[in-house]
Amino acid sequence: MSNNERGILAGKVALITGGASGIGRATALLFAREGAAVSVVDVDEAGGQAVAQAIVDDGRQAIFVCCDVSQAEDCQRAVQQTVDELGGLDILFNNAGIIRRATVIDTTEEEWDRVMAINVKSIFLLSKYAIPIMAQAGGGVIINMASGWGLVGGRRAVSYCASKGAVVNMTRAMALDHGEQNIRVNCISPGDTDTPMLRDEARQLGESDERFLAEAAQRPLQRIGQPEDIAQAALYLASDASSFVTGTTLVVDGGGLAG
Amino acid sequence: MRGLEDKRVLITGGAGGIGAATAARFLDEGSRVVVLDRDEAALRHIKREMPALSGTIVADVSDADDVARAFEELDDLLAGLDVLINNAGISIRHRFMDISPQEWRQVIAVNLDGVFFVAQQAAQRMLAGGGGVILNMGSTSGLMGYHYYADYNASKSGVIELTRSMALELAPAVRVNCVCPGYILTPMQEAEYTPEMLRACESKIPLGRLGRPEEVAALFTFLASDDAAFITGHYFVIDGGEIAGGLASQQ
């Protein structure tokens, strides 16, 4: 994307939740290549360390913070440690998420609360601690992970659909509240993307990976998304290329929702 | 942006405003750019301003025969097409009750007929050439109601739905998306709005300002690039947050 040696995120600090795998990992690697110092935040210590190490081995700057994004104290610590060790916080990518493939009948109360905590409450918590830092620095960017299922319904995923609908509208509300602080807030709505989460869905539904992935590829562009496809969308929203874009959802789904 | 170098790009309504800013941005990215416009004087001007352009074409997008002729000129200039920025559009500020049949026809003819005529010619060449990207100019006016632009708003809603249907039929070879700007400070906007009206617009935009043509150009280049290779069939809003809350957000 960049014509600039140093990258289009040079001098920026980005915190990425769920950075140990899938879309979060691809985004961490891409942002680092584009010059950002990256704080990889995840509960997966081994995976998160590996991503941070890969960035450092590439001669870039990264740290790993072990953090349960559903816990306020953890989120506050993740933001603080990022600021202390990387010198600020310009980009918050609220990417961490989980899915439970079940109807209302089959979803337990614990599962419902956990999906809401990881997918929605985490955005509230991290933004709460990140926004004052961004505002003080003159602005920032927040990118929330929504989903095509935040825009339309999906079968056997009621808690996930509810959580992603919430993400889409809290993105708009945050954009209204923090525009005057020059903080842009947008979300990305991917379609099925080849990540560990997608393969876990196949397992939850008792389907083979092959069959599940083949069905997911039935969309106008005739393939499923790759983490890199979504990372590029995040890069667009994180960069100055989108300086007048706020309160929107960027759909990246190979045309899945077009018709 | 990746993959824009040497791409053959046609920009309709490209002699001024957002179109001209988009031409400049694609030239920066190393693309080969042809600008189409019905304003001959403006084309002469942009040719002087941007000597790197591969050519300019005078044509009226609302006339199917003229569009067919323009694409023959384009074939001579670029021998094919990779990216279409289907940008040409007009608006007239008038009350719904005052819209004459001629005015209605004129707005729909440029904004909707024109987008269709140009897209069909472009898609023919892209399908024959192995693929491409079509980006149609929508507007937040195609998503929300606005006073005094009923014909324009209807045309932009039409463009959004045309985009989705084209994306389905032209996939996977051709990606089709729509860009929906809110208030952008263009000559079209400055001609129609008084300074007071512009200040009123700024006050309802969360980012507190109007957008710049260069910012819309950046969205076009992103969507045309390989960075957006999995994006088709959608509209993308660039409005400083204006429609995130609608009327309910006004304090």
CB contact under 8 A, B241 and A179: yes
Q: What is the structure's pLDDT at B190? A: 84
Question: B193 pLDDT band (50/70/90 cuts)?
Answer: confident
Residue A259, pLDDT score: 83
* Known active-site residue A129: no
Interface test with B, best of A33, A141, A221, A244 (most B CBs within 10 A): A244
- pLDDT at site A2: 45
pLDDT averaged over chain A? 96
Tally helices (H) and strands (E) across chain B.
9, 7
- Out of A160, A186, A201, A229, the active site residue is A160
Residues in chain B: 251
State how far Cα A79 lies from the chain centre: 16
pLDDT, tens digit (0-9, with 9 covering 90-100), for A192-240: 999 999 999 999 999 999 999 999 999 999 999 999 999 999 999 999 9
Tokens describing residue B76:
């001579």
* pLDDT tens profile B119-157: 999 999 999 999 999 999 999 999 998 999 999 999 999
All structural domains of chain B? 8-234 (3.40.50.720)
Sheet holding B132-137, edge to edge: B55-58, B32-37, B8-12, B83-86, B132-137, B174-181, B235-238
Find out whether B84 and B132 touch, Cβ atoms under 8 Å.
Answer: yes
Task: Please give the pLDDT value at position B180.
Answer: 98
User: In chain A, count of helices (H) and strands (E)?
Assistant: 9, 7
Asked if pLDDT for residue A126 goes beyond 80, the answer is yes
Query: Could you say which residues from 154 to 173 on chain B have a Cβ atom under 8 Å away from some Cβ of chain A?
Result: 164-165, 167-168, 171-172
Give the per-residue pLDDT at A106.
Answer: 97
pLDDT at A145 over 50: yes
Task: Give yes or no for residue A3 having a pLDDT over 70.
Answer: no
Can you tell me the mean pLDDT for B194-198? Answer: 90
Residue in the structure block whose two tokens are 């006073």: B147
How far is A225 from chain B, CA to nearest CA, in Å? 7
- The mean per-residue pLDDT over the stretch A132-147 comes to 98
Q: What pLDDT does residue B250 have?
A: 58
Q: Cβ contacts (< 8 Å) between B245 and chain A: which residues?
A: 172-173, 176, 247
User: Given this model, what pLDDT does residue B76 score?
Assistant: 98
- Confidence (pTM): 0.89
| CA pair distance B134, B166, nearest whole angstrom | 9
pLDDT at A4 (0 to 100): 53
Contacts 24+ apart (CB under 8 A), B153-157: B154/B108, B155/B89, B155/B107, B155/B108, B155/B111, B155/B112, B156/B111, B156/B180
A32 neighbors A105 (Cβ within 8 angstroms): no
B12's enclosing H/E stretch is strand B8-12
- The H or E element containing residue B157 is helix B150-170
Structure tokens at B14: 């490209």
Distances (CA, A) of A216 to A101, A103, A209, B65, B236: 15, 20, 10, 42, 23
Q: What is the pLDDT of residue B249?
A: 54
Which is nearest to B9 in space by CA: B221, B228, B185, B250? B221
DSSP state of A118: I
CB contacts of B243 in chain A (<8 Å) are 247
